[in-house]
């Protein structure tokens, strides 16, 4: 096959297991845990590599921020034969007790705009339960607690997730809207999970999300310094990669 348009990849480059992370810099950290890593391409916000972790072939790719670019990454990895899609990233928690903890959501509210270009909004963004089971087990094995609540994916960071000079000027109801979400027992907010989960279901592949709560609503509190770095670049990475190994072993 020809290389895909943006990720510059082919079916020969990509594993059936693909881990997506928004930040290209975090991708560089993830591959430091792996062996025999091959750079696939560094193209725009998409930095893609394939290597091995504990003998399992895994592809890692960044997506940038938000649903539109995450959908491009999903589409092109699907073209290359992806069978399992996992989002590894951070989430804004809506409960104080979640700071520094994992949220491995069963599903996401689709408050983004990208997924509505694919399917009616009544279509649910739901994770694969078998994948959730192994990611939960991986968190336990690594000594971490986790929460399997529903999260919500938005498009606008400064218009929906954090107050800014402009949102204040425009009198946007960010704080009030977040309080509404909390009434529905929503565990956290991000910008990509609903896209990953919706598209994986439409593609007929397995998908899930593993996130670390690094900040709380409207940035009222957040992990600081080395605690945040360890949570994002070590704890989160180990749980996801070990979870893939558990899943792969069980499904051989």
Q: Is the pLDDT of residue 171 over 90?
A: yes
Q: Is the pLDDT of residue 16 over 90?
A: yes
The reported pLDDT for the residue numbered 235 is: 95
Closest CA to 95 of 221, 223, 216: 216
Q: Delineate the domains of the chain, giving CATH numbers in brackets.
A: 17-250 (3.40.50.1580)
Q: What is the DSSP secondary structure assignment for residue 32, as one 8-state letter?
A: T
Q: Which two three-digit tokens encode residue 26?
A: 């975090």
The reported pLDDT for the residue numbered 105 is: 98
The reported pLDDT for the residue numbered 114 is: 98
The reported pLDDT for the residue numbered 232 is: 85
Spatial contact of 196 and 170, defined as CB atoms under 8 Å apart: no
Q: Is the pLDDT of residue 40 over 90?
A: yes
Q: What is the mean pLDDT of the chain?
A: 96
Residues paired with 89 in a beta bridge:
211
* Helix or strand (DSSP H, E) at 77: helix 67-79
Question: Region 7-11: what's the mean pLDDT?
Answer: 96
Question: Region 2-12: what's the mean pLDDT?
Answer: 96
Closest CA to 211 of 239, 242, 230: 239
Q: What is the DSSP secondary structure assignment for residue 168, as one 8-state letter?
A: H
List, for residues 156-167, the tens digit of each pLDDT value. Answer: 999 999 999 999
Question: Region 58-86: what's the mean pLDDT?
Answer: 98
State the CB neighbour count (10 A cutoff) for residue 221. Answer: 12
The position carrying tokens 């893609």 is: 48
C-alpha dihedral (99, 241, 108, 224), degrees to nearest 10: 20
| Length in residues, the chain | 252
């Amino acid at each position: 096959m020809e290389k895909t348009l943006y990720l510059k990849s082919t079916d020969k480059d990509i594993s059936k297991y693909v881990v997506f992370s928004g930040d290209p810099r975090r991708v560089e950290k993830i591959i430091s845990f792996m062996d025999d890593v091959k750079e696939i391409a560094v193209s725009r916000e998409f930095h893609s590599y394939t290597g091995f972790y504990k003998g399992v072939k895994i592809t890692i790719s960044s997506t940038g921020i938000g649903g539109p670019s995450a959908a491009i990454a999903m589409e092109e990895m699907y073209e290359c034969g992806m069978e399992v899609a996992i989002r590894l990233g951070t989430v804004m928690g809506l409960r104080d007790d979640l700071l520094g903890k994992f949220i491995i959501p069963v599903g996401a509210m689709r408050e983004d705009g990208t997924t509505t270009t694919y399917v009616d909004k009544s279509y649910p963004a739901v994770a694969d339960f078998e994948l959730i089971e192994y990611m939960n087990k991986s968190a336990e094995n690594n000594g971490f607690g986790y929460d399997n609540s529903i999260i919500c994916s938005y498009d606008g960071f400064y218009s929906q997730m954090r107050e800014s000079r402009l949102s204040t000027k425009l009198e946007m109801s960010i704080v009030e809207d977040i309080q509404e979400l909390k009434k529905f027992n929503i565990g956290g907010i991000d910008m990509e999970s609903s896209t990953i989960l919706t598209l994986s279901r439409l593609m007929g592949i397995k998908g899930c999300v593993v996130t670390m709560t690094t900040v709380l609503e409207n940035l009222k509190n957040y992990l600081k310094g080395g605690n945040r770095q360890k949570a994002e670049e070590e704890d989160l990475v180990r749980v996801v990669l070990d979870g893939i190994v558990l899943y792969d072993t069980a499904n051989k």
